[in-house]
């Protein structure tokens, strides 16, 4: 059994860290070619230090044809030349550490790029075929895929190759799935972990962590029949126990991308000899409603408690609709299935709620993930169809707008070309009109900006201490809790202003109180009791 979820010792920084997610391609363009890069990140490290974050999670920066934004890795031991070099990555890790910021890299064990040497050799008929899932097709001439599995991006999960066999890809055809029953696949990934831990990274995010293992018979999926042929298979836990032993050698930590509705199954990944943490997608997809949020928080804390793992709090990432946009819509939940072009959005309302949500999530016990641009209150952009790059859009037959709308290059300086993202070439995704109004340089000078709120909140956050969460009695629609150190967080999601509990000091508010000193709708405050 691990420590209680609120415990924090210096080597357990990850139990209460604020972790900033860097989508390198869209962060800052150091060489001016239109694509973000490591030089851009290195130049902006002081910004990240001033924001006060404890760690950076880099989405994949490895050699890649970028068919899925880098989640199609051709070589784990090389940096994509569009982003820089391995030597630069090493410098970046060291420079960040000097500023007190740790680095988390992203590994993608479920699949590789079709340009990875293993897959090229497999296509050439080599023994590497056994490292993937190649099968003959069904039908008289093998013209039908081996089973009916669907890609997570839409369409069949199988593609046929020249000699007539089919290979499995749970994502795009350019992302063939690895065969985790093969010992060479396990050995290779254990070596990749060591490679990055040796280079000083403090943690690893595990992409699609619950999908690696397939039922070797590759049976069709039957609704309601357990176990699922490829989601959350029991064999996964052996893999992660072996990984944990490696992480422990280096003092490294894991965060798993584990999308599972079943809280008990989810918590198995967080047992003391497996992953340290996993993303909280229940909270991330939760609508802006008091009872639903409270239930999500309670369930999160309850599912983590027995395994002693800290919770994580996530409002958005590079796959989902940006927070200010989502909260400004009729349906404030997130669901991939309901994404659509042209959804009406009240950005002022969404921003107001996102400010309150920032104070809510930063007050909860556990670690917080902040996706680049969230601290600027960037909205989801509607990308002109001819500029969309995300395979999710294409494989949906054009119905799904895809995920590019949350990946638009950041605005750094309002008066500079491309809002200061880069200097020479147009950014790889277009920045919408008005993007410079969100620029870092403007917000840094504005006491009412989202950036100022985040900076203040991250600076003040330690006042909540290590205490567990205790709910206080409140009227319907209001959430209030304390964390044992006499500090309260109160959030009003009701339609009318709420009276505040007794307090001696207002530490921070997402919006001003009303003339009667009451907490307006869609507002959060931190109070000293
Ligand atoms: C994860 C990533 C997503 C990627 C997918 C396939 O869900 O977050 O961006 O497309 O895995 O690697």
Domain layout of the chain by residue ranges: 14-110+183-380+433-460, 117-168, 465-528
- 207 counts as catalytic: yes
Decide if pLDDT at 411 tops 70: yes
Q: Average of pLDDT values for 487-495?
A: 97
Contact 127, 236 (CB under 8 A): no
Of 207, 274, 374, 400, catalytic: 207
Decide if pLDDT at 204 tops 70: yes
Residue 111 CA to residue 71 CA, distance in Å, equals: 8
Residue 111 CA to residue 234 CA, distance in Å, equals: 19
What is the percent of the chain with per-residue pLDDT over 90, rounded to a whole number? Answer: 96
Which of ligand 1's atoms lies nearest the C-alpha of 403? 9
pLDDT tens figures, 325-346: 999 999 999 999 999 999 999 9
Decide if pLDDT at 41 tops 70: yes
Q: Average of pLDDT values for 352-380?
A: 98
Angle, vertex CA 251, rays to CA 248 and CA 252, nearest 5: 90
Long-range pairs for 476-484: beta carbons < 8 A, 24 or more residues apart: 476/290, 477/290, 478/290, 478/519, 479/290, 479/293, 479/294, 479/360, 481/363, 482/529, 483/363, 483/365
pLDDT of residue 461: 97
Ligand 1 pocket member 108 (CB < 6 A): yes
Contact 372, 409 (CB under 8 A): no
Ligand 1 pocket member 390 (CB < 6 A): no
Residue nearest to atom 4 of ligand 1 (CA): 71
Element (H, E) at 160: strand 158-160
CA 171–ligand 1 middle distance (angstroms): 8
Ligand 1 pocket member 68 (CB < 6 A): yes
Task: Find, among 364, 347, 254, the residue nearest to 5 by Cα.
Answer: 364
Decide if pLDDT at 449 tops 50: yes
CB atoms within 10 A of CB 42: 18
pLDDT tens figures, 49-105: 999 999 999 999 999 999 999 999 999 999 999 999 999 999 999 999 999 999 999
CB atoms within 10 A of CB 451: 22
CA 208–ligand 1 middle distance (angstroms): 7
Of 90, 215, 235, 249, catalytic: 249
Fold adopted by 117-168: Oligo-1,6-glucosidase; domain 2 (3.90.400)
Task: Find, among 401, 387, 283, 352, the residue nearest to 524 by Cα.
Answer: 352
Ligand 1 pocket member 57 (CB < 6 A): no
Which of ligand 1's atoms lies nearest the C-alpha of 108? 12
- 516 counts as catalytic: no
Q: String of b and e for 347-367 (b: at least 16 CB within 10 Å)? A: bebbbbbbbbbbbbbbbbbbb
This model's pTM is above 0.75:
yes
The per-residue pLDDT of the chain, averaged, comes to 96
Superfamily of structural domain 465-528: Golgi alpha-mannosidase II (2.60.40.1180)
Please state the φ and ψ torsions of residue 474, each to the nearest 5 degrees. Answer: -145, 160
CATH code, residues 14-110+183-380+433-460: 3.20.20.80
Q: String of b and e for 289-303 (b: at least 16 CB within 10 Å)? A: ebeebbebbeebbeb
pLDDT tens figures, 107-125: 999 999 999 999 999 999 9
Task: Find, among 410, 297, 335, 380, the residue nearest to 28 by Cα.
Answer: 410
């Amino acid at each position: 059994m691990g420590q209680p979820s609120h415990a924090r010792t210096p080597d357990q920084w990850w139990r209460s860290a604020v972790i900033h997610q860097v989508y390198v391609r869209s962060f800052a363009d150091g060489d001016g070619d239109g694509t973000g890069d490591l030089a851009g990140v290195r130049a902006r490290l002081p910004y990240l230090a001033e924001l006060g974050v404890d760690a950076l999670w880099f989405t994949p920066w490895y050699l890649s044809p970028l068919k899925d934004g880098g989640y199609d890795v051709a070589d784990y031991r090389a940096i994509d030349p569009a982003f820089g070099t391995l030597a630069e990555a090493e410098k970046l890790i060291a420079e960040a550490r000097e500023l007190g910021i740790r680095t988390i890299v992203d590994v993608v064990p479920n699949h590789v790029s079709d340009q990875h040497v293993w897959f090229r050799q497999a296509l050439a008929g080599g023994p590497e075929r056994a490292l993937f899932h190649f099968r003959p097709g069904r039908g008289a001439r093998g013209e039908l895929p081996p089973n009916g599995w669907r890609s997570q991006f839409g369409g069949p999960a199988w593609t046929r190759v020249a000699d007539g066999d089919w290979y499995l890809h749970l994502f795009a055809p350019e992302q063939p799935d690895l065969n985790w029953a093969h010992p060479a696949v396990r050995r290779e990934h254990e070596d990749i972990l060591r490679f990055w831990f040796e280079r000083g990274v403090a943690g690893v995010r595990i992409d699609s962590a619950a999908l690696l293992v397939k039922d070797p018979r590759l049976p069709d999926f039957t609704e309601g029949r357990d176990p699922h042929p490829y989601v959350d298979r029991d064999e996964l836990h052996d893999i992660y126990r072996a990984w944990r032993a490696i992480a422990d050698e280096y003092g490294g930590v894991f965060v798993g991308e584990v999308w599972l509705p079943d809280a008990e199954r989810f918590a198995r990944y967080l047992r003391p000899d497996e992953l340290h943490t996993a993303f909280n997608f229940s909270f991330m997809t939760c609508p802006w409603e008091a009872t639903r949020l409270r239930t999500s928080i309670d369930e999160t804390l309850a599912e983590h408690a027995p395994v002693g793992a800290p919770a994580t709090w996530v409002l958005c990432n590079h796959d989902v609709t940006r927070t200010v946009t989502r909260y400004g819509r009729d349906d404030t939940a997130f669901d991939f299935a309901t994404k659509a072009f042209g959804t009406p959005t009240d950005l002022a309302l969404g921003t107001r709620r996102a400010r309150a949500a920032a104070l809510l999530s930063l007050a909860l016990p556990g670690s917080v993930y902040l996706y680049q641009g969230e601290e600027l209150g960037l909205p989801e952009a509607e990308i002109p169809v001819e500029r969309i790059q995300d395979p999710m859009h294409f494989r949906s037959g054009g119905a799904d707008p895809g995920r590019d709308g949350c990946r638009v290059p950041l605005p750094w300086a309002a008066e500079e070309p491309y809002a200061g993202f880069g200097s020479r070439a147009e950014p790889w995704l277009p920045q919408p009109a008005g993007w410079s109004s969100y620029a870092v340089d403007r917000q840094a000078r504005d006491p009412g900006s989202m950036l100022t709120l985040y900076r203040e909140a991250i600076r003040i956050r330690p006042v909540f201490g290590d205490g567990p969460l205790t709910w206080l009695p409140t009227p319907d629609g209001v959430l209030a809790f304390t964390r044992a150190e006499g500090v309260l967080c109160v959030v009003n999601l009701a339609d009318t202003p709420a009276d505040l509990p007794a307090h001696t000091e207002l530490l921070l508010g997402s919006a001003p109180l009303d003339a009667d000193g009451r907490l307006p709708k869609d507002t959060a405050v931190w109070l000293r009791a």
